[in-house]
């Protein structure tokens, strides 16, 4: 299905009904970020689609980024954002801004939208109930970019079993109480793996995995881990797509059934990816 088919309406068909029955009772981890978060209209569409999937009996954990909002606040404070291979480098001043933006502003905004749509949601960071224990990604002085050491998903299963939708920001702490900024893609994939979910879905600002970065119509609808590794070796994947595909591969190697990368800028792309056989983005399997 080409992106041009996606319009303002999602049409239920016989295949949609069969997929609703198939996925009812399943658990999905959805990671939401990119420029799809910048526009309130697009964000509202994503929230509506998540609410619909939730109403169909699918258990959803929403893990979010918010990099563009972080960057806006850093600029206001005259702090230059720094990245390496798509990962934010976080000093002490930056990590304070990251926690303020992600765990307060972005997280509670998403929770409010879901609650206002009658999907009861609870916002938390990876600090809460020690959901993720972190450690520094390098020994560099004052680098508060973190890596995942351990996932304790009990709080998520408790919330899901009581019909709450968890909304998670990727701010964690270590055993000493230091705060770390985790890459949200990485955090989401570790959560997905810890729960052995049915699908790990990344809503971002790209059509999916492109065979040619200069050709938006070169979307690869289906690929496996071997193909991903070969594309990396050939230099066909760069920048922010590196941690995205790394997180997909990690989840698939750790009991997640399928991973997806879809374009949140397209209305109902989430519904088309889940509730049609042709999908809207890229599906990665083991």
The H or E element containing residue 199 is strand 199-204
Kindly write down the DSSP assignment for every residue of 10-61, as one continuous string.
----HHHHHHHHHHTT-EEEEEE-GGGGT-HHHHHHHHHHHHHHHHTT-EEE
165-169 and 59-64 beta bridge pairing: parallel
88 is in an annotated binding site: yes
Phi and psi, residue 61, nearest 5°: -115, 120
Length of the chain in residues, anyone? 286
240 is in an annotated binding site: no
DSSP class of 4: G
181 is in an annotated binding site: yes
224 is in an annotated binding site: no
Closest CA to 279 of 225, 214, 199: 199
Q: Is the dihedral of CA 219, 255, 179, 61 positive or negative?
A: positive
**Annotated binding-site members for substrate:** 66-67, 88, 181
**Annotated binding-site members:** 66-67, 88, 181
């Amino acid at each position: 299905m080409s992106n041009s088919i996606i319009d303002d309406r999602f049409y239920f068909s016989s295949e949609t009904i069969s997929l609703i029955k198939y996925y009812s009772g399943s658990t999905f981890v959805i990671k939401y970020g990119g420029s799809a978060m910048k526009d309130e209209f697009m964000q509202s569409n994503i929230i509506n689609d998540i609410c619909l999937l939730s109403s169909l009996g699918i258990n959803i954990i929403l893990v979010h980024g918010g990099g563009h909002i972080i960057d806006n606040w850093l600029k206001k404070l005259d702090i230059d954002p720094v990245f390496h291979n798509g990962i934010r480098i976080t000093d002490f001043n930056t990590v304070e801004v990251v926690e303020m933006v992600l765990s307060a502003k972005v997280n509670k905004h998403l929770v409010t939208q879901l609650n206002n749509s009658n999907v009861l949601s609870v916002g938390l960071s990876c600090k809460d109930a020690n959901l993720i224990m972190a450690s520094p990604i390098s020994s560099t002085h004052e680098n508060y970019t973190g890596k995942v050491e351990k996932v304790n998903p009990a709080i998520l299963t408790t919330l899901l079993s009581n019909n709450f939708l968890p909304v998670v920001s990727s701010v964690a702490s270590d055993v000493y109480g230091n705060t770390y900024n985790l890459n949200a893609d990485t955090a989401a994939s570790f959560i997905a793996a810890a729960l052995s979910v049915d699908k790990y879905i990344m809503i971002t600002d790209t059509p999916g995995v492109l065979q040619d970065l200069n050709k938006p119509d070169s979307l690869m609808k289906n690929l496996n881990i071997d193909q991903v590794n070969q594309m990396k070796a050939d230099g066909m994947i760069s920048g922010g797509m590196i941690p995205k595909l790394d997180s997909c591969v990690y989840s698939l190697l750790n009991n997640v059934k399928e991973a997806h990368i879809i374009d949140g800028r397209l209305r109902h792309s989430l519904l088309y990816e889940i509730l049609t056989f042709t999908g809207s983005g890229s599906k990665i399997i083991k």
